[in-house]
Structure 1
Amino acid sequence: MERRQVGTSGLRVSSLGLGTMTWGRDTAVDDASAILRSFVDAGGTLVDTAASYGDGDAERLLGEQLAGTVARDELVLCTKGGVRHGPDGPRRDASRGGLLADLDGSLARLGVDHVDLFLVACPDPTTPLEETISALRLAVTSGRTRYVGLSNVPAWTAARAATLLEAAEGIGLTALQMEYSLLQRGVERETVPASASLGLGLLAWSPLGRGVLTGKYRRAVPVGSRAASDHLAGFVGQYLEDGDAAAVVEAVATAAEGLGRSPLEVALAWLLARPTVASAVVGARTPEQIAGTIGALDLSLPGEVHAALDDVSALVPGYPERW
């Protein structure tokens, strides 16, 4: 599996990342072990998790795997903080106390003394960005993490955060984790150009359009799929109810048929060829799913196919991106 540099930093990750959002809830221990072993055997290094996944269960399960299935130094561990679950549901907390408490909890559940990349999971409108950045700076200087970044933020936030971190010698913003696929190209308006200018690497979450780009929902909602589950139906349903998304899915399926490959392989190949993308983080729930995803990595789309997919999924340019 290809290793890619994350922006202009010294961090290198596998072009395919393994997401663990379903671990401890939809993915059981034996399946998690098989998935991780297959991923590492194929050359995968980046494993993505978060303090909020399953209220910490995903990190606990991953920590168990580090104690037996794979060695810590085989992986690039990425975790996220800044979301707290309470009686009223999840709330954002990117305060200094909140982020450092989340990071300390993650290290304990994972059974490690540091992670390779620590991300703020989402913007917190109630906490000054300066305070959030001070927490990231302390996370690095205290040795809890080697690199830091942000997730699900607008480009101006990334630019401001990078500027604030520049004041600390040797510490910089490294990565942005954003949703990016043929069904969600919003990052191309400002985030992709900002990332290129600032030297940031993009980690793309849901590169398969929350599973919709695999084509499995073209005719019906399969039993056992995310769209059929109580807790993930809304997450997937956004794209199932979108007529424009359906046209993109059909175009991907047509391209796949012509190439003798699967829609998953076509969608992933398109994304991995995009500028600034360091890794596509795929949340495989089963050993079969990770095997199919790994098999997609040898595909390079012909130029005309890539261009056709660009056209069918193109953003509508507007002000101020086009002036």
Structure 2
Amino acid sequence: MRYLTFGRNNGLRVSEYALGTGTFGTRWGSGSDTADIAKIFDRFDEAGGTFVDTADVYQFGESEEHLGGLLAGRRDRFTLATKFSNGLDPAAGVMGTGNSRKSMVQAVEGSLRRLRTDRIDLLWVHFPDSVTPVEEIVRGLDDLTRAGKILYGGLSNFPAWRTSRAVTLSELRGHAPIAAVQFEYSLVERTADREILPMAEALGLGAALWSPLAGGLLTGKYRSGEAGRLTDWQRLVHTEDTTRKTRVVDELQAIAAELGVPSARVAMAWLRELGARATTGYVPIIGPRTPAQLEDYLGALDVRLDAEQFRRLDEAGRPELGQPHESAAEQTQHVLGGPDIDFRRPQIPVA
């Protein structure tokens, strides 16, 4: 397991995988039982994993409760991240949801109790609520940082323009910096190539990538009729509903056959190589439901793609950037005399 600094504007050290714990519990109607949860967590620890990602809403609080017990006696070995926005109670209503200072403080106090800890290393604002001003969110994260309740703040599933404004406000007002962003990213979901990843690179933000296997699509198991999120949760999944997705799965399986490894490991190896080429930290959030699934994720750490295999996968999943990106790229090509530059990856010098 490699380790990295999660962004360029902070000293937060994390492992190259984050352990996502949305399956820790069964209050959603499916998930992992207590015995498997302990095995998954202990194996992640044994493999050198240090970054753990949860949320107050995961399994309606059960995920945090399990982690509170599992972290006993080894809390300082982990970077612990949790999220708030949706509220713990499905019936909480407007008084228990959203990103207001009231909701933020209530959520943090509740998470601290369930996690049995005195601080949260990274607090994510889970979703924008389209009501709370960015100024209030930035000030709230700063207050909690100064109070020692959290160490860093980050934004999850926010559009690039909202994040950029939050980063600017925190810089101008001397608040605790926004450390990182979290968003969905995989070989078949690369919308972030348009705005979010270039923004993260430019502003030095760490990037946590959720659903790196597209809800199981990139394992290839849905082609053989196996169960998974597609049948259990029926949400947060992808199907082969476009020619691009089918092309990606075809290419994955071809390269997996060349290397003699499962398709899932190839998909994770591609993300690992992508992160190695970035100037800021990219960390996939893995979400194993069973110990066997965790072993598959860990096995991907030993898979190496050559330059041609990386290129084939990159081209198979490459999205259309649309405007104004295409016109800007054409103009830059003209001004610079047509150099071989990938305009999806901004050339950001590291200070």
TM range (shorter): over 0.9
- Name the counterpart of 1:125: 130
Q: Distance in 1 between matches of 2:205 and 2:42?
A: 29
Q: Which amino acid aligns with 1:16?
A: Y
Is 2:165 the counterpart of 1:160? yes
Aligned partner of residue 181 in structure 2, secondary structure: strand
Alignment of 1:167-182 (within 5 A): 167-169=172-174, 171-182=176-187
Is 2:308 the counterpart of 1:307? no
- Name the counterpart of 1:80: 83
What's the TM-score, normalizing by structure 2? 0.86
Higher relative contact order (CA 8 A, sep 6+): 1
Alignment of 1:98-109 (within 5 A): 98-109=103-114
Q: Distance in 2 between matches of 1:21 and 1:266?
A: 23
Rg comparison, structure with higher value: 2
Q: Is the 8 A contact 2:5 2:281 kept in 1?
A: no
- Name the counterpart of 1:283: 287
> What's the offset of the Cα at 1:235?
2.3
> What's the offset of the Cα at 1:87?
3.5
Q: Distance in 2 between matches of 1:62 and 1:50?
A: 11
Alignment partner of 1:295 out of 293, 299, 305: 299
Aligned partner of residue 271 in structure 1, secondary structure: helix
Q: Is the 8 A contact 1:137 1:168 kept in 2?
A: no
Aligned partner of residue 236 in structure 2, secondary structure: helix
Alignment of 1:105-254 (within 5 A): 105-169=110-174, 171-220=176-225, 222-223=226-227, 225-229=228-232, 232-236=233-237, 238-254=238-254
> What's the offset of the Cα at 1:277?
4.2
> After the TM superposition, which of the residue ranges 163-172 and 85-94 deviates more from structure 2?
85-94
Q: Distance in 1 between matches of 2:97 and 2:86?
A: 5
User: As a proportion of its length, which structure holds more strand?
Assistant: 1
Q: Distance in 1 between matches of 2:253 and 2:163?
A: 35
Aligned partner of residue 284 in structure 1, secondary structure: coil
Q: Is the 8 A contact 2:24 2:63 kept in 1?
A: yes
Q: Distance in 2 between matches of 1:168 and 1:145?
A: 19
Which consecutive segments of 4 or more residues in structure 1 shift more than 4 A? Answer: 88-92
Q: Distance in 1 between matches of 2:283 and 2:296?
A: 17
Q: Distance in 1 between matches of 2:253 and 2:281?
A: 23
Q: Distance in 2 between matches of 1:245 and 1:53?
A: 28
- Name the counterpart of 2:20: 19
Q: Is the 8 A contact 2:215 2:230 kept in 1?
A: no
Q: Distance in 2 between matches of 1:27 and 1:74?
A: 23
Q: Is the 8 A contact 1:92 1:122 kept in 2?
A: no
> What's the offset of the Cα at 1:219?
2.5
> What's the offset of the Cα at 1:92?
5.3
Q: Which amino acid aligns with 2:119?
A: H
- Name the counterpart of 2:257: 257
Which structure 2 residue ranges, 5 or more long, are not aligned?
328-351
Alignment of 1:27-42 (within 5 A): 27-42=32-47
Q: Which amino acid aligns with 2:57?
A: S
Which structure 1 residue ranges, 5 or more long, are not aligned?
none
Q: Which amino acid aligns with 1:322?
A: E
Q: Distance in 2 between matches of 1:126 and 1:186?
A: 24
Residues 240, 22 of structure 1: alpha-carbon distance in 2 compared, 3 angstrom cutoff: farther
Q: Distance in 2 between matches of 1:124 and 1:182?
A: 28
Aligned partner of residue 116 in structure 1, secondary structure: strand
> What's the offset of the Cα at 1:168?
4.6
Q: Is the 8 A contact 2:97 2:103 kept in 1?
A: no
What's the TM-score, normalizing by structure 1? 0.93
Aligned partner of residue 170 in structure 2, secondary structure: helix
Spell out, residue by residue over 1:40-59, the C-alpha distance to the aligned partner (whole angstroms, 9 max, x if none). Answer: 11110000000111111110
Q: Distance in 1 between matches of 2:210 and 2:235?
A: 17
